[in-house]
Amino acid sequence: MKKFVRPEIVDMKGYVPGEQPRAGEAVKLNTNENPYRASERVYDAIRKTAEEGLSCYPNPLGQAVREEVARKFAVSPDMVLCGNGSDDLLTILTRTFVGSGELLRLPSPSYVLYRSLAEIQGACCDQIAFHTDWTLPNTFFSDPRSSGGGDEPSNRLRLVFLPNPNSPSGTVVPKERILEMAEALPCPLVMDEAYADFAEENCIDLIEQCDKIIVTRTLSKSYALAGLRFGFLVAAPKFIEQMLKVKDSYNCDSLSLAAAAAALSDEEWRRENRQKILATREKLTERMRGLGFSVPDSQANFTWNTRQDMPVQPIYEYLKEHGFLVRYMNYPGWGDGLRISVGTDEQTDRCVDLIGEYLEVRAKTAS
Ligand SMILES: *Cc1c(COP(=O)(O)O)cnc(C)c1O
């Protein structure tokens, strides 16, 4: 049957999301969900919208949410595009900018989905490795054609993805560097800001200075709404105009549009949630360092934990046996580590306790 399927699809592995056990079966610290309940305004908005009825199509642009985002970030509504989660926006971006055989650049290690999007599009991937201190090499913003390449499609760099803060490291590339990069690049630079609400700064105001910068956001992490599926993107109106032709006509449903407007309007909820997550993140970082892990300073709602002296996959297994899921990741040529999402204080403490127990047992059996 494979002969009926496009070869690009047959050849690709496909993105594998983190495990989703059934409710109550494990403490999930593996997909960077928010451990707290979303703003009550969200639940009220969903109930109200459902009561009013769902027989009509939603506004195709999500105009009310566009206006809410525009107010919040001091941009104009025609600079905002709504998406069914930010993964939907990343798909729209790839389809809008990158043609078959052309080049899409991404850093590595980073979000694995970008690669799958390029593969579906039949595009080529230019993976550029971070330095070991999680800074980016200058090649990240070079034009393949000006460094000696010809004009064949595989030298046509059409789009660059950069998650900031990055996953799995939680580290950030500073704003000045991003502006410098965007100006040098021959194509748009997509800043995937899925975790920016947990960071010190973000790039939305850079769009005014350099209109090649596009910023994507999601409600999945910092608004505790991963189950809802809503994200938005901010970009120059000339890009939004083109992307509107590519998106599904009704890519966001009435319930998620109502919920998103409500969530975005509750700035107090977001600020308080952020404070809680940041406080727990600092404790998690210190305790893991105390146990001998290398942990870069994170500006996201997770930490990246590695060590030289032992494999970490058995720690992942041990946690799983005890009802705690974290994300084990192994990047070819880079090594492996555990990405641990920030849960409640209680969940996070218990997870680190278990890791401590594992290390003690291991030390005893070795001596
Ligand atoms: C979680 C995540 C997303 C996806 O967000 P959704 O809105 O849930 O699709 C996008 N980019 C990065 C880097 C993420 O970690």
pLDDT in tens, 90-145: 999 999 999 999 999 999 999 889 999 999 999 999 999 999 999 999 999 999 88
- Res. 207: pLDDT tops 90: yes
- Sign of the alpha-carbon dihedral angle for 314, 318, 328, 300: negative
- Give the count of beta carbons closer than 10 Å to the beta carbon of residue 367: 4
What is the atom index within ligand 1 of the atom nearest the CA of 83? 7
Give residue-wise pLDDT tens across range 300-318: 999 999 999 999 999 999 9
Q: Mean per-residue pLDDT for 218-234?
A: 98
CA angle, residues 63, 69, 75, in degrees to nearest 5: 105
Measure 146 CA to ligand 1 centroid, in angstroms.
33
Q: Point out which residues pair with 213 in neighbouring strands.
A: 189
* C-beta of 91 in contact with ligand 1 (< 6 A): no
- When pLDDT is cut at 50, 70 and 90, the band that residue 19 belongs to is confident
User: Which has more confidence, 25 or 341?
Assistant: 341
pLDDT score recorded for residue 221: 98
* C-beta of 260 in contact with ligand 1 (< 6 A): no
- When pLDDT is cut at 50, 70 and 90, the band that residue 22 belongs to is confident
- When pLDDT is cut at 50, 70 and 90, the band that residue 154 belongs to is confident
CA angle, residues 347, 350, 354, in degrees to nearest 5: 140
- When pLDDT is cut at 50, 70 and 90, the band that residue 16 belongs to is confident
* C-beta of 218 in contact with ligand 1 (< 6 A): yes
User: CA 182, CA 166: separation in Å to the nearest integer?
Assistant: 17
pLDDT score recorded for residue 15: 81
* C-beta of 93 in contact with ligand 1 (< 6 A): no
Which residue bears the tokens 């580590």?
337
- Res. 147: pLDDT tops 80: no
- Nearest-CA residue for ligand 1 atom 1 is 194
pLDDT score recorded for residue 270: 98
What is the atom index within ligand 1 of the atom nearest the CA of 85? 7
Q: Mean per-residue pLDDT for 175-192?
A: 96
Q: How far is CA 54 from CA 43, 50, 254, in A?
A: 16, 6, 7
Percent helix, percent strand, percent coil in the chain, to nearest 5: 45, 15, 40
Record the tokens describing residue 4, joined without a space.
Answer: 């009926």
* C-beta of 85 in contact with ligand 1 (< 6 A): yes
- Dihedral in degrees, nearest 10, Cα atoms 270, 274, 277, 278: 180
- Nearest-CA residue for ligand 1 atom 14 is 194
- Nearest-CA residue for ligand 1 atom 12 is 194
* C-beta of 166 in contact with ligand 1 (< 6 A): no
* C-beta of 220 in contact with ligand 1 (< 6 A): yes
* C-beta of 86 in contact with ligand 1 (< 6 A): yes
Record the tokens describing residue 343, joined without a space.
Answer: 């849960």
* C-beta of 163 in contact with ligand 1 (< 6 A): yes
What is the atom index within ligand 1 of the atom nearest the CA of 231? 7
**Percentage of the chain modeled with pLDDT above 90:** 87
Least confident of 13-27, 39-53, 105-119, 178-192: 13-27
- Nearest-CA residue for ligand 1 atom 2 is 194
User: CA 87, CA 196: separation in Å to the nearest integer?
Assistant: 16
Q: Mean per-residue pLDDT for 56-80?
A: 98
The reported pTM is: 0.95
Measure 32 CA to ligand 1 centroid, in angstroms.
9
Give residue-wise pLDDT tens across range 233-268: 999 999 999 999 999 999 999 999 999 999 999 999
Q: Point out which residues pair with 159 in neighbouring strands.
A: 104
